[in-house]
Structure 1
Amino acid sequence: MTKLVLLHRADSIYQDEPDRVYDFPVQYLRAVSEAVGDRVIYYEPVKAGPRGYFAVAKIAQVIPKPGAEGRYLALIEPGSYLPFDRDVPRLHQGRPWEASLADSEGRPLTGGLAQSAVRRLTEAEFAAIVREGLPVDLPEIEARRYDPTPHAAEPPPPFERPVIERLISRPYRDVAFRRKVREAYDYRCAMSGLRLRNGGGRPEVNAAHIRPVAHQGSDAVRNGLALSGTLHWMFDRGLVSVADDGTILVSRNKVPREVEDRLLVADRRLCLPKDARDHPHPANLRWHRENVFGQVPLEGGQPWG
């Protein structure tokens, strides 16, 4: 097995969906095949945007691309994709993170391997990039974010668990997912349009998976919605859903009209992130409509009681 950097651009003409599949030509087949069962880091090329390294995932399988001779698909292991909390710049202290992209004096090279869509990555380089994009103490950073209590002394350095252990930790991934989704929606509920904060300034909005991780959903922002607590409850129980055009759907035989009027934006259309790359993926919305909307038996009382 080997670790890789995979170049990806949001406007790709190929069948690229970073949390699901990576489309590549035969010239990279050997390298990608060697990475099956191992992790990869996604990288946005200079001409495509400013992000640099932006996410990590795991390759589960490589298959020929149906109907496209000479092209292959790397299938991403469900639940393995995780966007970085902060994009990692292409250079660190003026030097490339990848030694193969630097000359003998550490200066960035142009052309050649730097333009390759697939690059091998050493274990040390992989760990360094992930550590920069997903800080070891991310849960502690989030916990202290809205803590008004001053700290007399700096907290001790966090215990650094192995990179892979951190990447498969559900509590760590939940924090990373919550931070990215709430930021993408500007801490505003996508269905009510409200941006509420408590007395300490903490946002009163949840990050909801559209397709749950337990059902092969990913931690990509495109599989998330920022929702208030009540609307998160309703979404998970299939009382509300979203059409492909952003129209909010309501299970009218279960949700009273006056409750709908109080909770949802007047035009019944989802409040979307500014960045189109963060908009809900139609496949995730379709899964929710087909598998959850109107299909979950309601037990106990409703929050509007």
Structure 2
Amino acid sequence: MTKLVLLHKADSIYEDEPDRVYDFPRQYLSAIREGVGDWVVYYEPVKAGPRGYFAAAKIDRVIPKPGAEGRYLALIAPQSYLPFDREVPRLINGRPLEAALTGPDGLPRSGGAVQLAVRRLPEAEFAAIVRHGLPADLIEQEARRYDAPRPELDEAPAPFERPVIERLVSRPYRDIAFRRKVRAAYDYRCAISGLRLRNGGGRPEVQAAHIHPVASGGPDTTRNGLALTGTLHWMFDRGLISVADDHSILVSRNKVPSEVTDRLMAPGGRLLPPLYAWDAPHPAHLKWHRENVFGQGASEGPLPWD
């Protein structure tokens, strides 16, 4: 097995969906077959945008692309994709993180490997990129994020250094990473009500909801998440509300009175978009919620407005 860097451009002719599938030509088939069962990092090239290295995932298998001679699909292992908490710049202190992109003088090369859409990545370089993108103490950071500043003499304990693979597979770590990314994607504003509420300490009240729950096979990607207030999160999880493909809000009218929706939802009855288009809900996740959760009436006891 071999770790890889996969280039991704949102406007590419290749039909990539980083959390689901990577579309590539025959010239990279050998390298990607080496990567089956191992981890990759995604990289946005300079001309495509500012993100640099932005996520990690694991390749499950490779298949020919149906109806496209000479093209192949690397299928991403379910629930392996994880966006970095902070995108990793292409250069740190003016130097690349990949030896293949570094000249003898330590400065960036031009041409050659820089132009490859798939690059083999040594273990140490993979670990360095993940360490930059997914800090070892992310859980501790989030726990104290909105605490009052400590006195200068009160030294914080050294963070526990989680191995990079543990960060990628640990459920508690992934939960925190997902929550941080989804809330930031919507600028800490509820995607249905439009409210941006904070408590007295500045802590956001908005929550991160999985559209397709992890317990049912859903991934930890922002495209499978919505920032919602606590009440709307509760309603969404119980199938009282859902979202259509055109992002209009669907309501189980036989269970939710119109006066409740009038108070809880923004005028217009449509989902507010995230800051960046690539974080918008994926239609497949919205469809799953409509078909498996919406209108199922799974609630215990009387509804809050009964």
TM-score interval for Structure 1 and Structure 2 normalised by the shorter chain: over 0.9
Q: CA deviation at 1:301?
A: 3.0
- Asked if 1:62 corresponds to 2:87, the answer is no
- Show the counterpart of 1:8: 8
Question: Is 1:230–1:303's contact at 8 Å kept on the other side of the alignment?
Answer: no
- Show the counterpart of 1:117: 117
**CA shift in 2, pair 1:86/1:104, >3 Å:** same
Q: Which residue identity is paired with 1:154?
A: E
Question: Is 1:82–1:219's contact at 8 Å kept on the other side of the alignment?
Answer: yes
Q: Secondary structure at the match of 1:60?
A: strand
Deviates more, 1:207-216 or 1:75-84: 207-216
- Show the counterpart of 1:252: 253
Q: Secondary structure at the match of 1:135?
A: coil
The alignment of Structure 1 onto Structure 2 pairs a total of residues equal to: 305
Q: CA deviation at 1:216?
A: 2.3
Q: CA deviation at 1:150?
A: 2.5
- Show the counterpart of 1:161: 162
Question: Is 1:7–1:118's contact at 8 Å kept on the other side of the alignment?
Answer: yes
Q: Which residue identity is paired with 2:206?
A: V
- Asked if 1:178 corresponds to 2:182, the answer is no
Q: Aligned equivalents of 2:235 and 2:300: distance in 1?
A: 12
Identity level (%) = 74
Q: CA deviation at 1:296?
A: 4.1
Q: Aligned equivalents of 2:216 and 2:111: distance in 1?
A: 42
Q: CA deviation at 1:93?
A: 1.6
Q: CA deviation at 1:75?
A: 0.4
Q: CA deviation at 1:84?
A: 0.6
Q: Which residue identity is paired with 2:220?
A: D
Q: Which residue identity is paired with 1:31?
A: A
Tell me the TM-score normalised to structure 1 length: 0.97
Any residues of structure 2 matched to 1:182-261 within 5 Å, and which? 182-261=183-262
Unpaired runs of 5+ residues, structure 1, are none
Q: Aligned equivalents of 1:123 and 1:304: distance in 2?
A: 55
Q: Aligned equivalents of 2:155 and 2:105: distance in 1?
A: 37
Give CA-to-partner distance per residue, 1:155-184, whole Å, 9 cap, x none. Answer: 122121211112101111111111111011
Q: Secondary structure at the match of 1:226?
A: strand
- Asked if 1:148 corresponds to 2:148, the answer is yes
Q: Secondary structure at the match of 1:62?
A: strand
Give CA-to-partner distance per residue, 1:243-269, whole Å, 9 cap, x none. Answer: 111100000011112111111112111
Q: Which residue identity is paired with 2:16?
A: D
Q: CA deviation at 1:274?
A: 2.5
Tell me the TM-score normalised to structure 2 length: 0.97
- Show the counterpart of 1:290: 291
Q: CA RMSD in A?
A: 1.1
